[in-house]
Every structure is written in C-alpha cells, then in structure tokens.
C-alpha cells in the first residue's frame, strides 16, 4: 500500500520533544534558557550569585550561556518541567548545545504564535478585547497589535504559552 500523505494530517505535535530529536526539528533555545535581560545586541545578560555561580533573574542555576542546569547532575533541563534535555557531557567547552541544535536553535512554527482571528471582508483580522481590556484574538487570548500571542509581560508566546521572543 502506498504512503498516505494525509494519514497524519491534523495530528498535533507534542509541545516539546524531550530529549530533543534533530529529525523532528521542534527544538527551540528558549526551551532551555533561563529568564534574562538582554543587551543591545540581543544577547542574554547572565548573572552571578554571591558565590560566583551563574544564575538567571529567578535565581535558578544556569551555565555561561544561560541554559538551565539540574542542580545535582549539571545536565541541561527544560525550563517549564525541568526534564533533562541534554547531558552535561554533550555540551561543548563554551557551554553550547551540541550540533545540529546549536545551528538551528531558533526553530519554531510562525503559525503557532499567531492569535486565532475572524477576518473582515477586506481580509484584515478582527481584534477584540479580553476581560482586562487588552487586545485579544477571537478566543480571548492576549495579543499584540500585530496579532501575535503575548504573555502578561508582553513577550511573544506560542499556543502552548511558551515564550518564543522577548519583548523589546
């Protein structure tokens, strides 16, 4: 029987692949990155605690690149469920994730960050307001003026609520 190209149509990909699979192309650096401010070039500003350990703004332990670390093993962990994404011995001497993930670390689906909209007769999205008076999509999810989903701080998020871009 020939392959059915519509067999998997409509099936949702999992929120995140743990550990990441290079063939599925679902990894995004933001999945392992702590919470940081950024400099004028967009680089994260990694902090140090009083003992000289690298930490994020929430005091969580990170490496020199800002990737979250498991306190016991030193493995790189996912930022919402703390599951291991990379073994500590897979990281290079600068704390970077292994290839090909270091090359394609911003992989994401742009459709997953757009709000769900009805459109007017001119093809323009129809914005609504949520209970707090903020711009919203047709499902009441907060969006920015471009129609991208946002969290309460203004960061662009995906449909799972995972931060994909920092607010500028």
| 17-66 per-position pLDDT tens digit | 677 766 666 778 888 999 999 898 888 999 999 999 999 999 999 999 99
Boundary of a domain, candidates 92, 107, 122: 107
Residue 16's alpha-carbon distances to 28, 119, 149, 160, in angstroms, are 9, 30, 18, 10
Identify the residue whose tokens are 């903020």. Answer: 134
Are 64 and 131 found together in one domain?
no
Q: What's the rounded Cα separation, in Å, for the pair 145 and 142?
A: 10
Domain coverage including residue 64: 15-107
Does the predicted model carry a pTM greater than 0.75?
A: no
**Domains: count for the chain:** 2
Are 72 and 148 found together in one domain?
no
Residue 82's alpha-carbon distances to 32, 69, 143, in angstroms, are 9, 9, 27
Are 25 and 70 found together in one domain?
yes
At 4, is the pLDDT very low, low, confident or very high (cuts 50, 70, 90)? low
Candidate from 6-20, 73-87, 129-143 with smallest mean pLDDT: 6-20
Question: Is 8 a member of any domain?
Answer: no
């Amino acid at each position: 029987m020939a392959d059915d190209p519509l067999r998997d149509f409509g099936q949702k990909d999992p929120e995140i692949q743990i550990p990441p699979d290079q063939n599925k192309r679902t990894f995004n650096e933001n999945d392992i990155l702590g919470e940081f401010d950024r400099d004028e070039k967009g680089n994260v500003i990694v902090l140090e605690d009083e003992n000289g350990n690298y930490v994020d703004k929430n005091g969580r332990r990170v490496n020199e690149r800002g990737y979250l670390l498991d306190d016991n093993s030193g493995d790189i962990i996912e930022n919402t469920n703390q599951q291991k994404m990379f073994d500590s011995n897979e990281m290079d001497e600068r704390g970077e994730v292994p290839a090909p993930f270091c090359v394609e670390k911003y992989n994401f689906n742009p459709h997953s960050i757009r709000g769900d909209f009805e459109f007017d007769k001119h093809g323009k999205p129809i914005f609504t307001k949520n209970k707090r008076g903020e711009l919203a999509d047709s499902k009441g999810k907060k969006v920015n003026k471009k129609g991208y989903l946002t969290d309460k701080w203004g960061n662009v998020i995906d449909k799972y609520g995972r931060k994909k871009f920092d607010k500028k």
